[in-house]
Every structure is written in structure tokens, then in C-alpha cells.
Amino acid sequence: MGPFDGMVGKGLKPLAAQKQKVHSQTIKTGPNSTSKHTSQPTQSISKPLPPLSNGQGKTLNGNAPKPQKQALPAHSRSNEPKARIKEEKRSTSLKRSSPTVSTPRFDSDNSDEDADVKSSKRRKMEEDACVDLSRRIRDIHSFSVQDSGALPMIHAADVANLGTDEKPNPNYATFFTALTGDEDEAPVIEIRYPSVSHKERYQMVQGKAGDDFKPLDEIIHVISTVAENYLLPSQAEPITNESSGLLRDLKRARLRGHKGEAGAQSKYVAGVEKYNALLDSLSKDGSIQENLDELHSLKLPLVETILQQIYARTVSPHIHTLRAYENGTDNVYGELLPRFCSSIFKHTRLNSSHVFVDLGSGVGNVVLQAALQIGCESWGCEMMPNACELAALQHEEFIARCRLWGLAPGEVHLERGDFLQNESIGKALKKADVVLINNQAFTPALNDKLIMHFLDLKEGCQIVSLKSFVPHGHKMQARNMGSPINVLDVRELEYFSNSVSWTDAPGRWYVQTKDSRKVEAFQRKINAA
């Protein structure tokens, strides 16, 4: 399963036609930073790509759940009963050979909203937010009149559209088919986001295949997300009221359009215009800004929504380029899904003052999630050429989407090449607080090389991996006292089912904390003997 169940399937223009790009060896963003580029043009992703090598990207789940109430993070050792985990291991063993794409079901009338019933412990985990009292959530520039220019973003209408008279798009059709005399076929409308003046264009179309992008569903989901995360209950009442709110009107208009009833399109467009006017008013009087300034954390569903939008417009159309496995080598692509990543952030107590490093960052999903959800300085390194190209696309869209939503992420640095040789990554590791290594498919030789680099990590740095770097039953003795693994204190934890892309089953992960004190104590004991 792909990280977002890919909101985009077909109908996206070739990558080279989307934007003119510059090959970037180092990409950096943040509130006070700019991108650094060389003048070397990039290779178009639409051309044949080199074989994959050393990609360990991790990404997100496509089903955007309803936003939950804020709560302080929990740091329990296990968040699911062991009996259930064992049962799931017996009953669920399907492995996915590669990421795939399908459409997330945002809020469709055709789906059962109560179908996904979760355990109380899992729900509690999803409600937790990483509260960081020192973090500034709002991006000040997004609410300045000077930020009213066009954003270099991929609009929904660039993804899902009817095409042109000369070149129609065979993958999409008009959603509202029963039109009145004054209604246009598949009009392009704009929707407001929390920032001062930026809007996104959507065309009123529907995909002909089940995994195609669904513009009307995303519009409703965006409005619901804004109401839940940016507005006070009294401010959101015109949107969320169950008997007269805009969400109710939009869903009814969508359903009527699905049934082919006349007048549904005008009602849907009118609902969007009312929402735009409401958000414009709340932005001009400073209400949205004041609400954001009161926040010190972002709820995971909001983070997922933003990252889903980014992924759907950049990676999903080219997901096939990540499927070239080389089994038995380090050149295997796999993804950690967003709720698992959020759990990692909570267990390691990652905060906005920390430095996060992802070794084998794939298309950059976890790097972007850490920068957005936590607000920390976030580094990634990848050597697969095609994954690097998609990571660059995601990063550029990430900058635009954060401005669109009015949020200030942490600095993002994406490096290309071998993380064992990259100089910038070497420097980042020395100041890192959390290092993520998806070593599920790493060869023993690569794991051994990584262990030697742990000596350069600072005390207290936490190394997160899917395979422990410390062998089970290892004991420090005089003959192995010089081994780097002796400075690692290991915790074993369990992740839920549907946490990684290559299997539905739950599994184990490890947090190894660098602590040299026990080695020093052992040395003193030997010297005293």
C-alpha cells in the first residue's frame, strides 16, 4: 500500500512539463532560510531512471481520519495488548512487494464512516499531540500582505481536469452532469486556505477509475480540517452545524450531483463561496492568527492532510519508479507510515529544539513529517536517483503548502548520495538527537559499517531502527569491551498493524540510546581488579 493510498492516479502532466527544475545537491528550508542550488539541470523523471539503490523512504497512510482532540503525549512501552499483536501476526501475513496507489476515502457518502473501529488504546495514541511550549506554530509571512503573490505550487486543477479541446484528458469526466441553463460544464473554482490571500484551483470533475484523485472530496476534507484545527467552536459553527452548516450543504450537493440531479453544481459552488467569505473575514480580523498563536502542537490528522496533498501531487503519479527491488542487497525501498512515525517522535520525545536525521530517507516523507509535526531541524540522505528526484519535488511543494496553511516548519535539508560518505550528514549526525535508520532490509555489512559511525554521536542520542544493532543476549566482557555496541542502551517496542508498507502485520522496533557510562564503569572495574 502506498503511503497515502495515492490521491492521484492518472491524468497528471509529465513531470518535466509540471515545472522547470534545478538539480540540487543540498536543499534547505525553514523560516529564515532559502534553497541553495547549482546550475546543473535535473534529469526528467519521465525519462528512464537508473536502478534503485539504498532507498529506505518512509511515508503516510492515505485514510485521513477525523481530527481528534489535543492531549499530552504518552510514552508507554507498548500501546497494544500483546495478545492482540500475536493474533494479528497469525491472521495477517500478507506482504506487499512494492508501494501501490489508491485513492484515500476522505468523506464520501458511499463509505461507511464507522467501519474502521479502533481499540481504545490506539485511539488514545492517535489523539496525542506533541505539545512543545517553545514552538511557534504560525508562519508570520503567510499572514502578511507582502505574501500575496502566486505560490509555486501544483493546484488540484493541474492534477484532475478535463484537459483541452486539442488534448482531452481521458481519465476524468464532469462530475455534475445535470446542468441548468446558466451553469458551465466542469467549472474551475477556488478555495481559501488559512493564509491571507492564497487560494487553490479545483475543477469540478471525477475520475473514471477508483484510484483517481477526487477533487470534491478533498475540498470537503480541507474545509473540515480548517474548521477543526484553525477555528474556535463558535467560529466553526457555520461550517460544522449538523442541521444547517456548510459541510452538510456541500455533502448534500455532492450526493445530488452523484445522482444526476439538476442544480446540485450551483449549490456546491455556493457553499464553497460562503466558506471562502467566512475564512476571509476571520483572517482579516486576526482571529485565525490569534488561534494559531495559542497552539503549541499540530494534531496528526492535520499533518497527514498536508503531507497527503503534497504526496498526491508529486509522488503518486510516479510511484512505479520506486518498485525496482534488488532483493538481498541494500537497494530496497520501504516506507514507514505516518502514525508509526508519530509514535517514534513521541517515544523519543523529539521537540522543536532537536535535530532529526533519517539515513536512507527515500522520497523524504519522514523528514518532512518531522519538520512539520515537530518543527525540528530535519535532515535526510538518499542515494536512489529516482527517489531523490521525487524528494526534491515533494520538498518544493512542501514549502508552498506550509505557506498555504500558514504553518512554520523546521528547517529541511535533503542530501543526495551515500550517507556513510556525505560530509554534511556526517556533521549533522554529530549534533543529532534522534537518528532514524530503516534497516529492515540492510545487509549485515552495511549494519556493521553504521555501528562504527555511532561512536561519533553525542551522548543521549537515540537511534531508532527496525532491527536491533545490539545482538540479543549480548553482554559486555573484557574481550569485547572495545565494541561500539557496548555504548548502546536498547529498548524494544512494538508497532501496530498497518505501520509499514511491506506488511500488514505488527512488528518490533528498537530505540538504542548512546550511553558511555556503563563502558566507563566496566573499565574502572577491570582496572581495579
> Which residues define the annotated binding site for S-adenosyl-L-methionine?
333-336, 356-365, 382, 418-419
462 touches 346 (CB < 8 A)? no
In the chain, the N- to C-terminal Cα span, in Å, equals 57
390 touches 363 (CB < 8 A)? yes
Residues marked as binding? 333-336, 356-365, 382, 418-419
- The grid cell for 234 is 463558535
**Exposed, middle or buried: residue 45 (CB in 10 Å: 0-12, 13-18, 19+)?**
buried
Q: Which residues pair with 172 in a beta bridge?
A: 207
Q: How far apart are CA 512 and CA 434, in angstroms?
A: 10
Where do we find the cell 508509526?
Answer: 340
- In terms of Cα–Cα distance, which of 128, 56, 134 is closest to 382? 56
Phi and psi, residue 272, nearest 5°:
-65, -40
- The angle formed by the CA atoms of residues 157, 138 and 335, to the nearest 5 degrees, is 60
Q: Which residues pair with 434 in a beta bridge?
A: 356, 462
Q: Which residues of 163-187 are buried (b: 16+ CB within 10 A; e: fewer)?
A: eeeeeebebbebbbbebeeeeeebe
152 touches 109 (CB < 8 A)? no
Q: How far apart are CA 466 and CA 337, in angstroms?
A: 13
Q: How far apart are CA 115 and CA 111, in angstroms?
A: 8
Question: What is the distance of C-alpha 422 from the center of its chain?
Answer: 25
Q: How far apart are CA 250 and CA 232, in angstroms?
A: 21
Three-state SS at 377: strand
Within 10 angstroms of residue 38's Cβ, the number of other Cβ atoms is 10
